[in-house]
């Protein structure tokens, strides 16, 4: 009773705070100065039509590198917390004793049709990151969802975790080496003018941003696949 009352009181206080914030908020008529300078300078300096990808992979590329590091740490952390069960005899032996039920026919047929389409869609999203809406993170998440569908349809499918780990680490190393190339050949770490900027809106344009998008997509996809696979055992 006391707990219930204190929960309601806490939620009510938070609701009052949020209501005060929401009522005081008025929509802006024009962009803030920093955003306005980003939108103005980005087509000239970075030459991507997609301003958000340009910010994520050129102006704020260091934050993206930090987030890639966080993802890697989480994959390692999940492996640490869940991986110890393979060594223990008790729980995993009991889990192996019951047979794995095959997926229903609807899931199997649907997965056969949908998985190739999902992979092509993910590649399209990654490669379109710098031209229109899309990007490395989004495409990587779609790759992982395609692999999850495959794992659901065939429960005894063995993912090659070693290959995925090596690919993901290689993508991370290449990402940092592209950044160092920016230090050596252009004006800063992860500067995208190492490669030619090209025509605005063309496929091969915007310097190193398509390469960084592909590396990001591969890394995020592999990471999420490894995390999903850990939960299967």
User: Using the rule CB under 8 A, which residue among 27, 98, 105, 156 binds other proteins?
Assistant: 27
Q: How far is CA 2 from the centre of its chain?
A: 43
Q: From CA 18, how far away is CA 14, in angstroms rounded? A: 6
* Residue 232 interacting with other proteins (CB under 8 A): no
Torsion sign across C-alpha atoms 142, 144, 145, 151: positive
Helix axes 61-83, 209-232, angle to 10 degrees: 20
Q: Is 39 an interacting residue with respect to other proteins (CB under 8 A)?
A: yes
Q: Which is nearer to other proteins, 140 or 182 (CB)?
A: 140
Binding flag, residue 29, other proteins (CB under 8 A): yes
**8 vs 109, which CB is nearer to other proteins?**
8
Is 155 among the residues that bind other proteins (CB under 8 A)? Answer: no
CA distance 146 to 125: 14
Q: Which of these ranges, 137-145, 170-178, 182-190, 204-212, lies near other proteins under the rule CB under 8 A?
A: 137-145
Among 9, 14, 196, 204, the residue binding other proteins under the rule CB under 8 A is 14
Burial class for 217, CB neighbours closer than 10 Å (0-12, 13-18, 19+): buried
Phi first, then psi, for residue 72 (nearest 5°) are: -60, -40
| Position 63 contacts other proteins (CB under 8 A) | yes
* Whether the Cβ atoms of residue 174 and residue 136 lie closer than 8 Å to each other: no
- Contacts with other proteins by CB under 8 A lie at 7, 10-11, 14-15, 18-19, 21-22, 25, 27-32, 34-36, 38-40, 43, 49-52, 55-56, 60, 63-64, 67, 70-71, 74, 77-78, 81-82, 85, 91, 132-133, 135, 137-138, 141, 201, 220, 224, 227, 230-231
């Amino acid at each position: 009773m006391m707990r219930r009352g204190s929960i309601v009181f806490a939620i009510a206080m938070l609701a009052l705070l949020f209501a005060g914030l929401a009522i005081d908020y008025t929509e802006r008529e024009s962009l803030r100065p920093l955003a306005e300078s980003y939108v103005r300078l980005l087509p000239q300096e970075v030459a991507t039509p997609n301003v958000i990808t340009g910010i994520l992979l050129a102006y704020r590329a260091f934050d993206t590198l930090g987030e890639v590091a966080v993802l890697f740490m989480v994959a390692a952390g999940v492996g640490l917390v869940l991986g110890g069960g393979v060594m223990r005899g008790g729980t995993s032996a009991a889990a192996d004793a019951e047979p794995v039920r095959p997926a229903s026919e609807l899931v199997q047929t649907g997965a056969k049709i949908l998985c190739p389409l999902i992979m092509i869609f993910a590649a399209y999203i990654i490669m379109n990151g710098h031209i229109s809406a899309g990007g490395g993170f989004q495409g990587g998440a779609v790759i992982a969802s395609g692999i999850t569908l495959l794992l659901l349809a065939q429960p005894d499918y063995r993912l090659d975790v070693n290959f995925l780990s090596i690919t993901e680490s290689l993508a991370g190393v290449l990402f940092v080496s592209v950044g160092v190339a920016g230090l050596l050949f252009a004006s800063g770490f992860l500067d995208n003018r190492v490669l030619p900027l090209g025509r605005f809106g063309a496929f091969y344009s915007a310097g190193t941003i398509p390469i960084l998008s592909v590396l990001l997509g591969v890394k995020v996809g592999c990471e999420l696949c490894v995390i999903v696979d850990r939960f299967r055992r």
